Amino acid sequence: MKSIRTIKVLFIAALLLMPTWSFAKSQVKASTIIDQINAGKAVQYKNAEIVGDLDFTSIKDVTVDEKSKAGRLLSKGSTLVYWYHVRSPVSFTDCAFTGDVLAYIHDDDENETHNAIFYEDVDFQGCNFQGKSAFKYVKFKTKANFKNTQYSDEALFKYTKFSTATSFSNSRFDDAANFKYTKFSADVSFSNCNFSREANFKYTKFPKAVNFDNATFKRLANFKYTKFPEGVNFKDAQFMGNADFKYTKFSEPLNFDGVVFDDDVNFKYTKIDGKSFTSYLVKKKLKRS
């Protein structure tokens, strides 16, 4: 009887542990993903843990940028640029990247820049970037989705080019979010994002509608020289640190309803539809705590 009772207890314990087992992430080597791309296969993973550095600049399909090559011939101090062509669709849903995710690398010793171009859809929805996430200078030729993502290190999207509508909504940036000089060709959303450190959108181009509604900026929110030719929505956003909108160019529709500024805000030389922003501020009476 005692042994039967023991077996029953162990069986019940095993049943209680089953939910934990079923939701455990399967592990995939980053090198396996690179091999798939080199073989021309689609990359699709869900609820997986990607182990090791996922380096898109290590794929075999690479060309030298001819303009940079000509520049190097004229001057040895000129940067030589390599493009890595990712021609497979890439999809990661609810995945964790334990290493770095690299689509950009600069070699200081050789003065060379290595950048990726994604020709098919790219999806990182619900992912956790535990290491670096470097997408500087990267080109997304089709859909790119970064909804519900978490960045433990700097989210580096400086000079990145997005060709279609994209979203970073409901994402958390624990370190700097660097979107300086980024070019968005279509609608983009940063709704409900949490920026723990500097959110840098200086010189960023938003040719279409953009949403920052319910976003939280805990440190500097840098929108200096940023252009919003089709309007922007900051409804219920909270700026806990400094907010810099100096030289920013707004256009209607512009929504600052419910916005709270807890620290200094700079609207010097700011324009809306080519006119002074002062009258808009007086009219709206933006709330400050």
**Are 213 and 108 members of one domain?**
no
Is position 276 within any domain? yes
Rounded CA-CA distance 278/289 in Å is: 20
Is 90 exceeded by the pLDDT of residue 6?
A: no
pLDDT of residue 16: 44
Is position 175 within any domain? yes
Query: What is the DSSP-derived secondary structure letter of residue 41?
Result: -
Is position 148 within any domain? no
**Are 237 and 183 members of one domain?**
yes
**Are 129 and 185 members of one domain?**
no
Is position 140 within any domain? no
Of the residues 90, 111, 134, the one at which a domain ends: 134
pLDDT of residue 279: 74
**Are 173 and 278 members of one domain?**
yes
pLDDT of residue 78: 94
Handedness of CA 146, 225, 111, 130 (dihedral sign): negative
pLDDT level of residue 288 (50, 70, 90 thresholds): low
Whether the upstream peptide bond of residue 253 has omega within 30° of 0, thus cis, is: yes
Question: What residue type is assigned to position 3 of the chain?
Answer: S
Domain count, the chain: 2
- The pTM assigned to this predicted structure is 0.88
Of the residues 112, 134, 156, the one at which a domain ends: 134
Rounded CA-CA distance 287/275 in Å is: 22
**Are 123 and 177 members of one domain?**
no
More confident residue, 13 or 210: 210
Range(s) of the domain holding residue 66: 24-134
Decide: 221 and 242 in contact? Cβ < 8 Å: yes
pLDDT level of residue 280 (50, 70, 90 thresholds): confident
pLDDT by residue (tens digit) across 117-158?
A: 999 999 999 999 999 999 999 999 999 999 999 999 999 999
Question: What residue type is assigned to position 4 of the chain?
Answer: I
**Are 194 and 288 members of one domain?**
yes
**Are 54 and 100 members of one domain?**
yes
Is position 156 within any domain? no
